[in-house]
Each structure stands twice: as structure tokens, then as C-alpha cells.
Amino acid sequence: MLDLQTVWGAIAESFRKVSTPVTYSTWIASAQPISLINHQLTIKLPSALHKDYWESNLTQELVEFAYQATHEDIQPDFVVDIDPVETATRKTTSDNANENVPTFMKETKLNPKYTFDTFVIGKGNQMAHAAALVVSEEPGAMYNPLFFYGGVGLGKTHLMHAIGNKMMLDRPNTRVKYVTSEAFTNDFINAIQTKTQEQFRQEYRNADLLLVDDIQFFADKEGTQEEFFHTFNSLYDDGKQIVLTSDRLPREIPKLQDRLVSRFAWGLSVDITPPDLETRIAILRNKANADHIDIPDDTLSYIAGQIDSNVRELEGALARVHAYSKLKNTPISTDLVAKSLKSLNLGNSHAEITILSIQNAVASYYHVSLADLKGKKRMKSIVMPRQIAMYLCRELTDNSLPKIGTEFGGKDHTTVIHAYEKITESLKNDTNLQNEISDLKNELKR
Ligand SMILES: Nc1ncnc2c1ncn2[C@@H]1O[C@H](COP(=O)(O)OP(=O)(O)OP(=O)(O)O)[C@@H](O)[C@H]1O
């Protein structure tokens, strides 16, 4: 006989090990086991949204963890908690009553360091910077929403905060609301759980400037998208400015509702691409000055030459080099940096994988010329390697889609999206293709 509490204890523990604390507390801790009868595990969840989430994201793991705990095939059955009396009792008797305080009640602060003054303008971000400046001066007028997209650590959040900081400085009464898409989701769920949806709406819909970071995490979250759609409409209709960031274009975000994709296109979408060498040196110089780190120019150039994709890594390298010099009690020099980057194993991970290195590897693997790979020929023997190369560029580098298209003989970014989707789809069933891509990845990472 399987004991409900023991089985659930084991399952919850397995989830805890593989989940982030936020995921665990938002989705898993609120689930209540009700019964385990004839291999059917009934679980009570606090809302329909939770049920959706469990069904689409957690069921497979649940069955797996249940099997690990019992060596039996257990099927879940989710029911939604609709007993308001019991919900209220549970809320008041909860030991962790504070957890129920909606997070949107807490003040969200902008990072005061992320300003236009501390932002270094270069080729990859000048459009984004110019648009951000316009929006901070004339919010709600020209570019609404303003949408920044691009690889990780390239300054999207920085620019978004710079808009907020400038508006607060110019008009101190401006109500600025900054959230990540995950925080928006959590606020929304808390509002449902604590029946404070009205406060949630007030909080978001009364903002003069709403900044939502990393909206790619709205993927798959139907209920949150629905709520965000109404938030967006309400702000937009009132002429309030909305700024969004994502690691990709809206239409590339899986399962983002079409009506959101089209609304996001009403304003201006600008990509941010990795900084060139001069910009990287300038960013490092600024950072060194701000942190009072004494470092010769040639050493700055050396670091900027080693780390070429991501500004966060660039800053991280400087901080580590600084720490290393303190540890060794030696002033920073190029020699010391070379040693410290080596000992810290920095600057050699993804820096070597570039569009060109991918094109070369794919061309030689499939015996096609580089010119054909970048050209327009439509034979299958060339189209397939071309699509694979585009797919790998998207997977293994931080380059934007337009940039990848350009490097493939000036193709449109939609061609790159098509290639990426085609290969992703084929990879699901085609084992030969799986092996070939795996060979290529190994080759590139060697
Ligand atoms: N042009 C720049 N000038 C000065 N600092 C920059 C610049 N670009 C990025 N940074 C710094 O790099 C770090 C990472 O930037 P940020 O967090 O804005 O990246 P992001 O594009 O939002 O990344 P993610 O997609 O991971 O959220 C921050 O400390 C930011 O201040």
C-alpha cells in the first residue's frame, strides 16, 4: 500500500532538487496531495493557471519522480482549489503568512548605476541608445512600445533602466515600474492566490513608464500573457510608455500570442549586437575608472581582445583580474592578466565560435564551398548545409538574426528564422541529422 504523504514527500523533494527556488515556491510548494487511489494521485492546485502550468510543464517530471519513489506507474489528476472558506483558513493559519504578501507591493528600484552617462555608445548599440534617449525625453509619443532584443549581457537592461532613471530625474513624479517577466508572472499568481487582482491591476496600470525585462519567459504562460495583454492595452490607450526586452524578436518567442506579437510591432524594435573592439576597450576603461582600478591601456586592449561577445563577461574578467592582482599583491599588467585569465579559464569558452568558424566547419563537413554556403543556389545538397550553418550560428553565438542573415550573403532575417525552425523540427525525428549536428558542435567546441 502506497502512503500518500510519503510518496508526495519524495516527489516534492525531487522537484526541489531540480527547480529554482522561485519555480519551487511559485508552482510546487502550493500543490496539495489529496489522495492516491488505484495509482491515481489527485493533487489540488490553487488556480486554473497552476493547473495549466502543471499539465504543460511538470507532469512528465511528476510521473518520473513518482516512479523513482514507488517503482509504480502513477498518473496525476489535478483539481483546482475552489473552496474559498478553506483557502481563507489556510491563509490565516499559514506559518509563512508573509509569503502571501504580493511582491508587487514592494517597491521595485531601478539600478542607479545604469544611466545614459555610464553607457558607452558603439556600433552595435547606437540605434538602441538613440531610441532610448528619444523615449526618455518624449515618453509615449514616438516609439511605443520600444523593444530591445539581442544576446545576453549586451546592455538591454542597462538602457531600459537608463530611460527610467532619466525620467525620474527630469520629472520626479513619474511612476516607473520595472519588472522582469518572471516577476510579473509571480505578482500575477500571488494576486490570484491572495485575491488581490484589483491591487495588481492598479499597480501596473497606473504606471507612467512600464519596463518589462526578458519577456521571452512569457513563452508558454497563457494566463500571464492574457493579463499582460490587458495591461499593455490599458497603458497604451492612456499614452503611457512601455519598454520591453527579449533575447529575440517577438515572433521568434515560442507560443507568444499573435495579438501580443503584433502589438509589440506597433512601436520600434531595435537589436543590440556585440560590441566591436574599440567599444569593448572603452567600456573597460570606463569601468576601471569608476571602480578606481589602475590598469595600463595595453592591458585593457588585451582583455578586450580576449573576450569578444558579452559585456557582462568583459566586466567580470576585469573584476577577477583586479582580485587576482590583489591576491598576488602585484600591479595589473598584461603579463599578470594573461596568467590570471588562464588560471581562471576565462576568455576561451565561446569566444572562438563565430559565424565564420561555423561556416568553415559546415562547408568542410558537407564538402560545399564557402561561396555556395553564402550564395543563393537552391540545390538540396547546398540548402541543407546552409540551413544547418544558420541554425548553429543562432545556437552557438550571440549574433542577432539580421547579422547572421547579412553574413550569409545579405539574406533577410526571416530566412534565418525559417532555417532555424526547419532544422529544429527535423532534429526531432532525424537521427542522422542529430549525429551530424552533434559532430559539428564537438568540432567547433574543440
Ligand atoms: N554599452 C555599455 N556601456 C557600459 N556598460 C555596459 C554596456 N553594455 C552593457 N554594459 C554592462 O554590462 C552588464 C550587462 O548588461 P545588461 O544586464 O544590461 O545586459 P542584458 O542585455 O540585459 O542581458 P540579459 O539578456 O542577460 O538580461 C551590465 O553591468 C551593464 O552595465
Alpha-carbon distance 91 to 237, whole Å?
36
Query: Is the Cβ–Cβ distance between 390 and 408 less than 8 Å?
Result: yes
> Which pLDDT belongs to residue 81?
72
**Was 157 annotated as part of a binding site?**
yes
Helix, strand, or coil (residue 272): strand
Q: Is 283 in the pocket of ligand 1 (CB under 6 A)?
A: yes
Q: What pLDDT, on a 0 to 100 scale, did the predictor assign at position 97?
A: 36
Q: Whose CA is nearest to atom 25 of ligand 1?
A: 152
Using CA of residue 120, residue 125, residue 127, residue 132, what is the dihedral sign?
negative
Cα–Cα distances (Å) from 69 to 10, 33, 64, 92, 412, in that order, read: 6, 15, 9, 33, 51
Domains along the sequence of the chain with CATH: 4-80 (3.30.300.180), 103-271 (3.40.50.300), 277-345 (1.10.8.60), 355-445 (1.10.1750.10)
Ligand 1 in reach of 374 Cβ (< 6 A): no
Q: CA–CA separation, 214 vs 152, rounded Å?
A: 10
**Best mutation site among 110, 212, 311, 318 for ligand 1 pocket (most ligand atoms within 8 Å of CB):** 311
> Which atom from ligand 1 is nearest to the alpha carbon of 158?
18
156 Cβ below 6 A of ligand 1? yes
Which residues are within 8 A (CB) of 122 and not within 5 positions of it... i.e. 6 or more apart? Answer: 275, 276, 278, 279, 282
Q: Is 376 annotated as a binding residue?
A: no
Q: So what's the ipTM on this one?
A: 0.98
Q: Note whether 41 and 69 are within 8 A (CB).
A: no
What residue owns the CA closest to ligand 1's atom 23? 153
CB 317 within 8 A of CB 308: no
Q: Ligand 1 within 6 A of 152 CB?
A: yes
Give the angle subtended at the CA of 200 by the CAs of 194 and 203, to the nearest 5°. 145
Question: Is 153 labelled as part of a ligand binding site?
Answer: yes
Q: Give the whole-angstrom CA distance, residue 219 versus residue 255.
A: 5
> How many C-alpha atoms does 46 have within 13 Å on its Cβ side?
21
Amino acid at 413: H
pLDDT of residue 23: 79
* Residue-wise pLDDT tens digits, 63-86: 888 888 887 778 888 988 764 433
Ligand 1 centroid to Cα of residue 132, in Å, is 14
236 Cα: distance to centroid of ligand 1 (angstroms): 27
Round to whole Å and give the CA distance between 319 and 300: 12
Residue with cell 488556480: 47
Q: How far is CA 211 from CA 103, 132, 153, 207, 328, in A?
A: 16, 12, 17, 10, 43
Residue 249 near ligand 1, beta carbon < 6 Å = no
Segments of the chain with pLDDT less than 50: 83-106, 347-351
Helix (H, G, I), strand (E, B) or coil at 156: helix
| 127-184 tens-digit pLDDT | 999 999 999 999 998 899 999 999 889 999 999 999 999 999 998 889 999 999 988 9
Query: Is there an atom of ligand 1 within 6 Å of 153 CB?
Result: yes
User: Cα of 81 to ligand 1 centre, how many Å?
Assistant: 42
pLDDT at 93: 36
Q: What confidence score (pLDDT) does residue 151 get? A: 86
The pLDDT value recorded for residue 317 is: 86
d(Cα 327, Cα 330) in Å, to the nearest integer? 8
Tell me the C-alpha distance between 207 and 242, whole Å: 9
Q: Is residue 156 a known part of a binding site?
A: yes
pLDDT of residue 87: 36
